[in-house]
Chain A
């Protein structure tokens, strides 16, 4: 009888396993309801009735091969991979209890405090011992959640903490890696600036002077056609071969050393503004993310920040959604060098330049009051 039951159990488990779809990581998240199980071909062929099925499911659950869950429509079961189930073998009762909670918490992990409450193990020493034993068996590992920096959480050793728990690629050891983000922001901005603008050389002095005269620019245009423009166009043509692009830009910068380069906006309808996919690809190609692979959603986050900073804008040409830098002619054409702070000229207006605009006691300032324009030391400094 037992042998037969064991056999049936295996068959049921295999039948369920066959129903799983997709890659291993996601496949096991599929859940089976009672109806699903009953409609399996094996149940119909072997004429397993409801009661027998319940017995089998219960037994599988005890074996840790089934994970019982509650859904809105009643109880459901999820499969646990065989090798995971095997890990329960050889564990003591308390250890099983603790491990099952950690196992079920998945990638989110479980806070030590919550774990203790759920398991009902009240003795501190005993609880810590269990955790230590499990850790020694390399079944579980601890990490700090970014959501609550002080919370020590436990997770199965075989999986990595979820993005929600680690905060994604932007966190290193639970801290927001701001320098990493800043470098990436600047690198991404450079990509956008390069591909969304036209780099040219001014004629010695100011670029503006050149563009006001009707005669002078013709020569400039000619010169541009012959040297820079051709080079630039050559560069633009193999925009697909992105890695080449990276190398050619500093070269060009060196060549035009001494002459002032300026960036020009592209004509309307320019359809080669860099896209999200391209940026993601270039970041991967440049290998600057220390092995962390940035997904498109991560890069989108960076782009959003750049947009909120008012440095880039989204531009839709046809169906292609690209990005370009705003105030392009105000930007320094040379590329970002890690470790430096890229200079960008801030717009200013009457209020930011005047002492009043940044006066810490502006609210108090009043004729005859403690602070007044005549005796204002900020004015003194500004007028001096």
Chain B
């Protein structure tokens, strides 16, 4: 299955990534596994013309890094290996994930995840040991010269938390690990999880879904055990954890017996992807609405992702009801809102009579049904909501309520006069906002997000000052279109984008109608259309009006094939990533002499002193080129995430379910 959805470019990319990180031998074996499919050790040895011992060695590396599935038939006791290209691709995201973990869960969490990531999977005991060891090393370095980060591949530099001087104990490390398990970023690994889903399927012919889910659940047991303390505990504690505060005033909730030393952990990329998606969506909001709204949205997503273990729920899993996605309440979101966020800015302040609160506070209990293209979606959903005939009157009443502390009232019991519009405003300017006011303003940001045509968030209920949910499917589709549009606009200009959007909104359109709709010259339209067709963004269908099939008597219907375009763009992105990595290799070859010098242990860490002027400059140049190329690869990966991973495509063929 894994190889069936692979394109040449994505396979090439995975192999390059493995070569970059783990060397020639594992990448060669992985390449063979990708091209020939499931193989035994003997087959691999034959195809690669390598000795069995070497092959085994390479396989060990791959297994250690979760890059292959292996399965031993109980009858023949033959072991078969299969490439897990999804995990291989994830290598490119390592740096990004560490960054994200750092931002959301603090320095210590990043250190732990980094350790686990570097060795694929690890026993809890070893993590604690290794972490303490490396941390001790850093502690010693505090006074001396801290290791300069010399940007080795993937930017996963050694911990540069040199400022941190507090000694950590094993207890604290365990506590952090427990927290990461509770969030879901680390997951206990069971041998079954290294078997390909196909094999498990075959083993339990009939009860597939249950089995797959059982295995998942078994791995989740520990998470569930830890969740109450670490996720749903008091807000104060959670915040401390989130800020990576090391001076904890409470005893670690985790007793040593909850997490046994022998449990093996690995990074759960599915969950990491959720975090990355949150980050990307915040950017999306930042770009579309504004910075403050993006921060509020970030809080919402953080609250919501507590309830999400992966971006693409397994469609076979019937425990998830697509019509009732998880929701969060305003109060929950507020818990996650950083104190530093200024919710009072970022929205315009028209006079109260220009606000139609009925419309703003509108509750949509069900996801919009239309296929959200931004242009067309949402009309019907909105139209179906009944509006009171005299909305003008309601408007006025509610508008007052909006400027008070909201219809629901703040929980600090502050009472405002009936015409308190001005009073409240003066209040916050003078003595600083109260919690209730902050929450109220935060709600305004949420309402703006809900009103947007992009469907960032859906106001789905009124419990606890409002329930909110995100229809990821619709949202990610919009995001995908946005990425496509960006490419189209960049390549074919605004007119090209205009034409494509018309086709997307209207379906198939005849040659002659387009110029009128786009207000463009006929010749220009034709030229653009042909240009875009050649580039593969458009398709044309010829419908002859009679049997003669002459061009003059033929209708040319243009259309936009969403699925095909996405697939093509995705493959092009892979290809671009491959080219960047190949270029990096070539650049490395060019500077081979310098690089081999730098790799010497007596030079490492003090390049500036040991290398002579020219050599050092050349080394700097290489580092510059490397960071540019890798930076671009990471940006291209952002695109892959949007196009492939954040949400299944309509036909959901691009990514097999992985667990």
Contact = CB atoms under 8 A, between A and B. Distances in A.
A376 B583 contact: yes
Q: Dominant SS at the B interface?
A: helix
B479 to A, nearest CB: 11
B363 interface: no
Contacts of A94: none
A22 interface: no
A347 B575 contact: no
B425 A367 contact: no
Contacts of B477: none
A198 B576 contact: no
Interface in A223-280: 224-225, 229, 233, 236-237, 264-272
B169 interface: no
Contact of A198 (B350, B490, B505, B521): B350
Contact of B490 (A225, A346, A382): A346
Interface stretch (B24-32, B215-223, B288-296, B594-602): B288-296
A351 B451 contact: no
Contact of B354 (A197, A270, A326): A270
A296 interface: no
Interface in A313-355: 313-320, 326-330, 346-354
Given A221-B429, A357-B490, A351 B572 contact: yes
Which of A236, A328, A347, A348: most chain B CB closer than 10 A? Answer: A347
Contacts of A42: none
Given A210-B345, A326-B288, A346 B489 contact: yes
A264 B575 CA distance: 39
Interface string B575-596: 1101110110111000000000
Nearest to A262: B290
A317 B448 CA distance: 12
A373 interface: yes
B331 to A, nearest CB: 19
A267 B348 contact: yes
A301 B447 contact: no
A268 B576 contact: no
Contacts, number: 244
B356 A269 contact: yes
Contacts of A330: 287
B502 interface: yes
B582 A305 contact: no
A211 B342 contact: yes
A310 B504 CA distance: 13
Contact of A318 (B387, B444, B501, B517): B387
Contact of B287 (A221, A233, A302, A347): A347
B487 A357 contact: yes
Interface stretch (A74-82, A84-92, A212-220): A212-220
Contacts of B611: none
Contact of A349 (B359, B448, B486): B486
Interface in B22-54: none
B429 A358 contact: no
Interface residues of B, number: 88
B569 A351 contact: yes
A305 B342 contact: no
A147 to B, nearest CB: 9
B573 interface: yes
B638 interface: yes
A353 B491 CA distance: 11
A225 B425 contact: yes
A372 B291 contact: no
A376 to B, nearest CB: 7
A181 interface: yes
A351 B341 contact: no
A268 B363 CA distance: 13
A305 B487 contact: no
B501 A310 contact: yes
Given A269-B361, A374-B582, A214 B639 contact: no
Given A265-B448, A329-B289, A362-B575, A373 B580 contact: yes
A172 to B, nearest CB: 13
A349 B494 contact: no
B450 A268 contact: yes
Q: Which of B429, B491, B517, B632 has the most CB of A within 10 A?
A: B632
A352 B492 CA distance: 12
Contact of A350 (B293, B491, B582, B639): B639
A178 interface: yes
A309 B354 contact: no
A354 B577 CA distance: 9
Nearest to B587: A383
Given A217-B342, A383-B625, A316 B349 contact: no
B632 A353 contact: yes
A373 B490 contact: no
Contacts of B499: 308
A6 interface: no
Given A214-B340, A269-B356, A357-B490, A236 B448 contact: no
B12 to A, nearest CB: 8
Contact of B572 (A208, A237, A329, A362): A362
A216 B395 CA distance: 33
Given A218-B429, A349-B638, A350-B636, A269 B451 contact: yes
B283 to A, nearest CB: 10
A307 interface: yes
A348 B287 CA distance: 11
Interface string B433-451: 0000000000010011011
A208 B632 contact: no
A267 B355 contact: yes
A365 interface: yes
A170 interface: yes
26 contacts: A170-B519, A176-B519, A198-B350, A211-B291, A216-B342, A218-B432, A265-B290, A267-B347, A268-B359, A268-B361, A268-B447, A271-B355, A308-B497, A309-B494, A315-B453, A316-B379, A316-B383, A326-B453, A329-B291, A354-B635, A357-B576, A367-B582, A373-B579, A373-B582, A379-B583, A382-B628
Interface of B: 287-293, 339-342, 344-351, 354-361, 374-375, 379, 382-383, 387, 391, 395, 425, 428-429, 432, 444, 447-448, 450-451, 453, 482-483, 485-487, 489-491, 494, 497-499, 501-502, 505, 515, 517-521, 569, 572-573, 575-576, 578-580, 582-583, 585-587, 625, 628-629, 632, 635-639
Pick the 4 closest A-B CB pairs, nearest first.
A198-B348, A269-B360, A268-B447, A350-B635
Given A198-B349, A211-B345, 9 more contacts: A264-B345, A267-B447, A307-B501, A308-B501, A310-B501, A313-B374, A327-B287, A347-B486, A354-B635
